[in-house]
Amino acid sequence: MPRILVADELGREGLEILEQEPGFQTDVRPPLSESELCSIVGGYEGLVVRSSTRVTHNVIEAASRLKVIARAGIGIDNIDVGAATRRGILVLNSPEGNVTAAAEHTIATILARARNVVLGDALLRRKEWRRKELVGFELAGRTLGIFGLGHIGLVVAKLAKGFGMKVVACDPFIAKEVAAGQGIELLEKEPMLAQADIVTLHIPLNDKTKNFIGRAELRKMKRGSILVNCARGGIVDEEALAEALHNGTIAGAALDVFAQEPLGDSPLLAEPGVVLTPHLGGSTEEAHRKVSADIARQIVAYFKSGQVTSAVNTLQVKEPRLAPYMNLAEKLGSLGAQMCPGRVLRVSVVCQGAISEGDVRPITVSALAGVLAASCGDTVNRVNAEIVSRERGVRLTESTSPDSPHYVNLISVMLETEKSVRTVGGTLVDGREERIVHLDNYPIDVPPAQEMLILFHPDRPGMIGRVGTILGENAINIDRMVVGRKTRGQQALMVLTLDDPVPPEVLSKLREAVPASQIDSVKLP
């Protein structure tokens, strides 16, 4: 039964989903300091936060059982994603729920600054009627420059075009053809700063984007332009911005986010040309409902079926039809690793057939996770498998082919260690039923099972009887058994799926009674 800790305020819709799910225990404990969170997080498998709670390295180190950190919202700068990834903890977010709210707030702050709404309100409350000093400008015909054409940036562009604005953008991850299809011209950073009347930021905060707009960038902007940041605090050098406003380098600004929140003493507070709001971008009733329900559904889906739809630190399956192959690949990797002693040197994954047309990287990483988990235990999973493989010097290769002679789709995992090499292949029947179809080129057809017994033995009469007798004498029931061979009278492969594990003493009896070159008891995830 997963225990879920909700450490920030979560909408009623999300809480009801978690609280009503059978087998889930949900505790709501906001607000918590770092030390308080560290003291209790070790008892939970899931942690839900919004923007207030900081999930630091210390918190993650104390989270001995944690499987998932879920951010009810899009930004994850309050979570140490690197530490979580290294520990194999999945980080989820809800990137869609507050898109409309954030985009509308961006436009709201632009309008407020363009028409001097905030300053006009403040003057009027002081009974000062100073219309001549509050002349603004219209958005129609102006150029809006957008850094970041993600979900929010694109909605901002659409809204701005509705006001009759020309939209240009800077985003190295968007193709010119895609932007052109939205009526947006792509520019490099400096040309866009020089051309735009209003510059708005919709990029994440990371090492590359910290102080993305500083003194040098502000000097390149139009003298009468406006800077807007409703994305993440720290993207704009706030001290440099205050200087630019004070010196008239730019005409104004609108900020909803800050490097330090809540905002304390700041030179921006003394500048009348800036509109300031307390991180309200996603603060609408609709957004709260959407993100809380979305993140709750994601948590339930993960713990019930392993389904992941919006993770920030693991590969996403772009095509749902490939998801079942990830589970199969993990089992193939685990099986091969348990039959291949020694330090792992190389893992090669080959995807053949129709699946080769899609992005097979998640399948490859799943196979790698299966290999490494066989020796490292549950500290390795799909989240941190690539990190662990690099640390251990494991070489990972991936190849695809549209040709699959015997199957519609086929996954083969080749594992090389210091002592041996093993290849395991599998497919899905009707896209659902898992099958192991070859092991070291021995043809077989068996569904992977939690408990399996695998033997390489001489191809002669009596082998099946000996194995069955010993298992029966020790009350181990056989679910199914298949035998494969390459050449009559040589070596054969026997694979059994069992209802119970084979104890070490029974394995010893099998090794004494059966002249097998290798006997392995395998437990699959």
Cross-strand bridge partners of residue 428? 434
What single-letter amino acid sits at 147?
F
CA distance 382 to 368: 8
Closest CA to 187 of 143, 142, 227: 143
| Mean pLDDT computed over every residue of the chain | 93
Please, what is the end-to-end C-alpha distance for the chain in angstroms? Answer: 18
Cα–Cα distances in angstroms (integers) from residue 263 to residues 257, 266, 267, in the given order: 9, 7, 11
Token representation of residue 404 = 């699959």
The residue to which tokens 């102080």 are assigned: 211
pTM for this entry: 0.67
**CB contact at 8 A, 187 and 180:** no
Secondary structure class of 169 (helix, strand, coil): strand
DSSP state of 65: T
**Predicted local distance difference test score (pLDDT) of residue 316:** 67
Catalytic residue list: 232, 261, 279
User: Are residues 521 and 496 in contact, defined by beta-carbon separation less than 8 angstroms?
Assistant: no
pLDDT attached to residue 49: 96
How far is Cα 342 from Cα 291, in angstroms, rounded to an integer? 46
**Which CATH architecture is the domain 315-447 placed in?**
2-Layer Sandwich (3.30)
**411-450 pLDDT, tens per residue?**
999 999 988 999 999 999 987 899 999 999 899 999 999 9
Residue 343 has pLDDT above 80, yes or no: yes
Which range has the worst mean pLDDT, 73-77, 292-296, 471-475? 73-77
pLDDT in tens, 476-503: 999 999 999 988 989 999 999 999 999 9
Residue 44's pLDDT is what? 98
Question: pLDDT-based confidence at 204, cuts 50/70/90?
Answer: confident
502 close to 451: Cβ distance less than 8 angstroms: yes
State the span(s) of the chain assigned CATH 3.40.50.720.
3-97+287-305, 99-276
Q: 125: burial class by Cβ within 10 Å (0-12, 13-18, 19+)?
A: exposed
Strands, sheet with 491-498, edge to edge from the N-terminal-most edge strand? 478-485, 491-498, 451-458, 518-523
Encode burial over 452-478: b for 16+ CB neighbours within 10 A, e otherwise.
Answer: bbbbbbebeeebbebbeebbeeeebee
| Range(s) of the chain covered by CATH 3.30.70.260 | 449-525
- 368-413 confidence digits (pLDDT tens): 999 998 877 767 888 888 988 988 889 999 999 999 888 999 999 9
Report pLDDT for 342.
85
d(CA 257, CA 259): 7
Phi, then psi, of 435 in degrees rounded to 5: -140, 135
According to the model, what pLDDT value does residue 429 have? 92
* Mean pLDDT (whole number) for 328-336: 97
Q: Which residue has the tokens 């899009």?
A: 74
Mean pLDDT of 5-23: 95
CATH architecture of 3-97+287-305: 3-Layer(aba) Sandwich (3.40)
pLDDT of residue 177: 83
Amino acid letter, residue 444:
I
How far apart CA 392 and CA 102 sit, in angstroms, is 43
pLDDT at 511 over 70: yes
CATH superfamily name and code, 449-525: ACT domain (3.30.70.260)
Q: Report d(CA 72, CA 55) in Å as an integer.
A: 13
Q: What is the mean pLDDT of residues 21-35?
A: 94
SS3 334: helix
Which of 72-76, 121-125, 218-222 is predicted with the least confidence, judged by mean pLDDT?
72-76
Domain with CATH 3.30.1330.90 in the chain: 315-447
pLDDT of residue 192 exceeding 70, the answer is yes
Give the span between the Cα atoms of 77 and 397, in whole angstroms. 32
pLDDT, tens only, 287-329: 999 999 999 999 999 999 878 888 888 776 667 778 899 999 9
The residue ranking higher by pLDDT, 307 or 252, is: 252
- Angle formed at CA 488 by CA 486 and CA 492, multiple of 5 degrees: 55
Q: What is the spatial distance between Cα 344 and Cα 479, in angstroms, rounded to a whole number?
A: 31
Fold of 99-276: Rossmann fold (3.40.50)
pLDDT tops 80 at residue 143: yes
Distance CA 359, CA 355 (A): 8
Beta strands in 43-127 (DSSP E): 46-49, 68-71, 90-93
